[in-house]
């Protein structure tokens, strides 16, 4: 079987990490290649994948794609590229819907562009041979708005290797950590606001390629007079070595198609507080993680104060992460989906 993945760029992100992991783990059974439009901004942001890659142009079809049995597209630009060239592509065409597009586009472009882009993207997706959704609530939402039904395949994460521990905390503080691309949709401002309620809270933020948004967060931290208790570390080679030293991991997203960092934190037995949104409710329950009401800073503060109770949940969360969201399970399910598409001919 020959599988081509089309991604927006080689930059490591929640969107691209899944096809990168899929490609790398399918190498033993398939011939795979990654086609992309943009290089990573720098070496720090590039996902190290041991798979053949090729840069392509949105305005020119690459004939090599016709050598593949399956074309697996990820993201708006790859989906549009595949749709524009459907008459030329011989292989089966599959796309993964990674999030709630209308919400993602709203945060990126606002009104009315997000409405136009969302309608276009949904139309394009309807022309694929198969759609894959990453959570059931996402699948149900798109079914209700009339998008063709598809398969549900949970994302999977690899086992994380942590070689050493880096101490960053002061023993008289509650050490909070978070990991994301630090965009508006990630809701990091809520953690900064809760720091203003308790001088014992200390925050370490890891990740982020959106310079403007990071500057906005730093400005907010200064305005709230909590800047001296916030550490913006940016890109870190192995962030979990640092996060393991924190007391609690907070994932405050306003919208998510899947919480990769949430699963990674659970797999390492780190106490978790996350926003009470449908995606996270499907992934974990109250016995595994602690939820707070979105944009309710007092509720978030109260949940942090329940840290001893939160720590009692980590074993169940770890078991869920290993059982339901393993990399092996995800790769197996996608491989079976590819086979079904090919065998349907």
149 and 8 share a domain? yes
Distance CA 299, CA 97 (A): 32
pLDDT in tens, 188-217: 999 999 999 999 999 999 988 778 889 999
207 and 293 share a domain? yes
Q: Give the model's pLDDT for residue 267.
A: 96
Alpha-carbon separation of residue 248 from 94, 138, 177, 242 (angstroms): 38, 28, 6, 12
163 in a domain, yes or no? Answer: no
Which helix or strand (DSSP H or E) is residue 300 part of? Answer: helix 297-304
258 and 333 share a domain? no
Q: What is the DSSP string of 84-135?
A: HTTTT--SEEEEEE-S-HHHHHHHHH-TTHHHHHHHHHHHHHTTSSEEEESS
255 and 314 share a domain? yes
* Backbone φ and ψ of 311, nearest 5°: -65, -25
Q: Which residues contact 115 (CB under 8 A, 6 or more apart)?
A: 102
Buried b or exposed e, range 248-287, using 16+ CB within 10 angstroms: bbbbbbbbbbbbbbbbbbbbbebbbbbbebbbbbebbeee
Q: Residue 250 sits in which domain range?
A: 174-325
DSSP one-letter code for 160: P
CATH at 220: 3.40.50.2000
pLDDT under 50: residue ranges of the chain? none
Distance CA 256, CA 247 (A): 24
137 in a domain, yes or no? Answer: yes
Distance CA 179, CA 252 (A): 10
In the chain the beta strands, taken as DSSP E runs, fall at 2-9, 31-38, 53-55, 70-74, 92-97, 130-133, 151-152, 174-179, 201-206, 230-234, 248-251, 272-275, 290-292
pLDDT in tens, 169-183: 556 889 999 998 878
44 and 123 share a domain? yes
Which token pair is 11?
């930059």
25 and 79 share a domain? yes
Distance CA 329, CA 263 (A): 14
149 and 214 share a domain? no
165 in a domain, yes or no? Answer: no
147 and 199 share a domain? no
Please state the pTM of the whole predicted model: 0.92
169 in a domain, yes or no? Answer: no
Q: Which residues contact 131 (CB under 8 A, 6 or more apart)?
A: 94, 95, 96, 97, 125, 142, 147, 148, 149, 150, 151
Q: Give the model's pLDDT for residue 19.
A: 96
Taking Cα atoms as reference points, which of 47, 37, 34 lies closest to residue 4? 34
- Give the position of tokens 């992991």: 21
184 and 266 share a domain? yes
- Is the previous residue joined to 118 through a cis bond, with omega within 30 degrees of 0? no
37 in a domain, yes or no? Answer: yes
* Separation of first and last alpha carbons in the chain: 14
230 in a domain, yes or no? Answer: yes
Bridge partner list, 179: 206
Alpha-carbon separation of residue 164 from 126, 235, 240, 249 (angstroms): 47, 18, 10, 18
Domains of the chain: total: 2
310 and 333 share a domain? no
217 in a domain, yes or no? Answer: yes
179 and 291 share a domain? yes
Q: Give the model's pLDDT for residue 169.
A: 52
Q: Give the model's pLDDT for residue 40.
A: 80
Strand order across the 70-74 sheet: 53-55, 31-38, 2-9, 70-74, 92-97, 130-133, 151-152
Helix (H, G, I), strand (E, B) or coil at 326: strand
180 in a domain, yes or no? Answer: yes
DSSP one-letter code for 165: -
127 and 190 share a domain? no
């Amino acid at each position: 079987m020959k599988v081509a993945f089309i991604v927006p760029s080689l930059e490591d992100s929640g969107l691209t990490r899944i096809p990168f992991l899929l490609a790398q783990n399918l190498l033993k059974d398939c011939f795979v290649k990654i086609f992309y439009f943009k290089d990573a901004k720098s070496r720090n942001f590039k996902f190290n994948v041991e798979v053949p890659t090729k840069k392509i142009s949105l305005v020119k079809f690459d004939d090599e794609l016709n050598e593949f049995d399956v074309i697996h597209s990820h993201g708006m630009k790859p989906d549009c590229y595949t749709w524009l060239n459907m008459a030329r592509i011989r292989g089966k065409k599959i796309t993964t819907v990674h999030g709630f597009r209308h919400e993602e586009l709203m945060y990126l472009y606002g009104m009315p562009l997000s409405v136009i882009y969302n309608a276009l993207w949904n139309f394009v997706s309807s022309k694929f041979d198969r759609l894959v959704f990453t959570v059931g609530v996402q699948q149900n939402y798109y079914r209700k708005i009339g998008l063709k039904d598809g398969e549900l395949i949970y994302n999977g994460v690899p086992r994380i290797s942590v070689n050493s521990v880096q101490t960053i905390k002061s023993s008289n503080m509650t050490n909070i950590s978070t990991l994301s691309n630090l965009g508006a949709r990630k809701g990091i401002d809520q953690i900064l606001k809760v720091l203003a309620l308790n001088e014992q809270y200390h925050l370490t933020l890891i990740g982020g390629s959106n310079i403007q948004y990071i500057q906005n967060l730093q400005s907010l931290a200064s305005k709230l007079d909590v800047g001296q208790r916030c550490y913006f570390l940016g890109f870190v080679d192995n962030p979990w070595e640092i996060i393991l030293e924190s007391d609690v991991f907070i994932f405050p997203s306003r919208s998510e198609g899947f919480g990769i960092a949430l699963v990674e934190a659970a797999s390492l037995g780190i106490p978790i507080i996350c926003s009470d949104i449908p995606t996270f409710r499907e992934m974990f329950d109250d016995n595994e993680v602690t939820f707070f009401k979105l944009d309710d800073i007092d509720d978030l503060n109260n949940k942090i104060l329940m840290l001893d109770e939160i720590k009692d949940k980590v074993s169940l969360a770890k078991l869920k992460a290993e059982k339901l969201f393993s990399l092996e399970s995800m790769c197996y399910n996608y491989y079976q989906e590819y086979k079904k598409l090919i065998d349907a001919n």
